[in-house]
Copies of this chain bind each other. A is one copy, B any other.
Amino acid sequence: MPDPTVPAAAEPAEFDVVGIGNALVDVIAHANEDFIAREALVKGSMTLIETERAVSLYKALGSAVEMSGGSAANTMCGVASFGGRAAYIGKVCDDDLGQVFGHDLRAVGITFRPGGPENDTPTGRCIIVVTPDAERTMNTYLGVSSLLCAPDIDAATVAAGKVLYMEGYLFDRDEAKEAFRTAARIAHAHGREVSLTLSDSFCVDRHRSDFRALVADEVDILFGNEDELTSLYEVTDFDEAVAMVRSDCALAVITRGASGSVIVTGDGVVSVPAEPVERVLDTTGAGDLFASGFLYGYTNGMSLPECGRLGSIAAAEVISHVGARPLVDLRKLV
């Protein structure tokens, strides 16, 4: 009699990708380097902030624009923009920003599973300061998004996705780590693949051993950039990190900014060039959208170089304007 938790073959999938992440609305403003220095921000990274700091930073900030964000949510929007089928699990409050977040997912055809309700904790927001060099510095007030826990993981949704995609940013709380393991086990029990993005080298630093264990135990496809990968393995040499990830995961996709990306498998390394961009205006979402193109291609049977090319196209589109989600139909750019 077969083990019911390990089916012989996966059933037809309702979704190409199911994402889990911090559900955030971005508050985007432009500021110069003086502002970064004066507010003691860690340029180019993501810093978690509490209510008081969120209030004082927002007060110091110039006029802003509000747009739905969240790393894995941005990735799901990219998948949908390519024509893929995506679902998203993440927590919002029933306040203005929570309604905005839910609307903007559903408006592009994404199935949104917000998890169970919580009382009073507001929807999370990410204060993004874009400097004249197009670099983004993120300061995240997690709000209710960080309360994601195992019971919020809708098993049927996870089971219905070819690939589960999880965002490392969520990894700051034990409950979220447990939710990740729960989701990964559900996916694997249904013959699905599990992917993870490392999100941020500081986040990897804070939780290195947990990330290492998750990657070794559960992750089939790992996304990250150069800094995150070398931080994960505590090495300075990129090639050494590549060798280490090869023994951990079947597939790793490492972005290297303007130098493009490399796709690492047991068979070797595929290099993918970056797409040319006329003018880089805001690098927010570059990694998120790269992952969206890769995953859309991967779940639709394309070759690895082709998956990488779709990733580069999506990343190029999102860095050519302000905001972390595509402004055009990505399928038209292919």
Residues of A within 8 A of B (CB): 58-59, 61-68, 77, 95-97, 100, 103-104, 106-108, 122-123, 323, 325
Contact = CB atoms under 8 A, between A and B. Distances in A.
A107 B58 CA distance: 9
Q: DSSP class of A's interface residues: helix, strand, loop or mixed?
A: mixed
B108 A62 contact: yes
Contacts of A323: 65
Contacts of A106: 59
How many of these chains are in the complex? 2
Nearest to A60: B107
Given A58-B103, A103-B58, A63 B325 contact: yes
Given A63-B108, A66-B100, A95-B95, 12 more contacts: A58-B103, A59-B106, A61-B103, A62-B108, A63-B68, A63-B104, A63-B107, A64-B100, A64-B103, A65-B66, A96-B97, A96-B122
A116 B308 CA distance: 56
Contacts of A95: 95-96
24 contacts: A58-B103, A59-B103, A59-B106, A61-B103, A61-B107, A62-B107, A62-B108, A63-B68, A63-B77, A63-B104, A63-B107, A63-B108, A63-B325, A64-B100, A64-B103, A65-B66, A65-B67, A65-B323, A66-B66, A95-B95, A96-B96, A96-B97, A96-B122, A96-B123
Contacts of A96: 95-97, 122-123
